Amino acid sequence: MALSEVEVGTSAVVASLELPHDILDHLMHLGFLPEAIIDVLRRAPAGDPTVYRVEGAEIALRRETARHIQVRRTVQNPDQTREQP
């Protein structure tokens, strides 16, 4: 499934990224790498972009970008520090 489809409050593991090289490079350096765990924190009030937490940083991506990141679901274990939205 695509990262854009993951519900708020859950996490996913990056499987692959299908983006042009320079965007890919930028996102990978922000931590969007295969096997990285991504928490979907919240959506902007207008419903898009969405804030993701990766590697301890909070990064917002538009749906048009997030749908090119393929993820798989993790076992539901929201970590202790996260609050329920």
Partner 1 sequence: MSCHAPSPPPAVLEESPLKSVQPRGRFRTIALIGPPNSGKSTLFNRLTGLRQKVANYPGVTVEQRFGRMSGIRRHDLTLIDLPGIYSLGGYSEDARVAVDVLKGEMPGTPRPDAVLIVLDALNLSRQLMLAGPILAMGLPTMVLLNMADLMESRGGVVDPLALAQELGRPVALISAARGTGIDAIERFLQQRGGANSEIARTLPVIPIELPVLQNPGECRRWASQVSSRTKYKAPASPLWTRRLDSVLLHRVWGPLIFLTVVVTVFQAVFTVGQPLSDWMGNGLTLLGTKVAHTIPVPWLQELVRNGLWNGVQAVLVFLPQILLLFLFIGILEDSGYLARAALIADRLMRSIGLNGKAFIPLLSAYACAVPAIMATRTIENKRDRLATILVAPFMTCSARLPIYTLIIAAFIPNRPVLGSLIGMRACVMLSLYVLGFLAALLTAKLLKSSVLKASSAPFVLELPQYRWPTVRSLSLRLYDRSALFLKKAGTIILAVSFVLWVLSILPLHNGHFSDLAGSVIGKLGHLVEPALRPLGFNWKIGIGLLSSIIAREVIVGTLGTLYGVDPNTQALSLQAALRHDMTIGGAIALVVFFAFAMQCTSTLAVVRRETNSLRWPVIQFCYMSGLAYIAALLTNQILLHLL
For binding to partner 1 (CB under 8 A), which residues are involved? 19-20, 22-23, 25-31, 33-34, 41-42, 44-49, 51, 55-62, 64-65, 81-83, 85
Is the CB of residue 85 less than 8 Å from the CB of residue 51? Answer: no
Q: What is the DSSP letter of 75?
A: P
Q: Report the residue number, 6 or 27, with the smaller CB distance to partner 1.
A: 27
Nearer to partner 1, 34 or 73 (CB): 34
Nearest CB to partner 1, comparing residues 72 and 82: 82
The C-alpha atoms of residue 18 and residue 6 are separated, in whole angstroms, by 17
The least distance separating partner 1 from the CB of residue 73, rounded to whole angstroms, comes to: 22
Which uninterrupted H or E stretch holds 28? Answer: helix 21-29
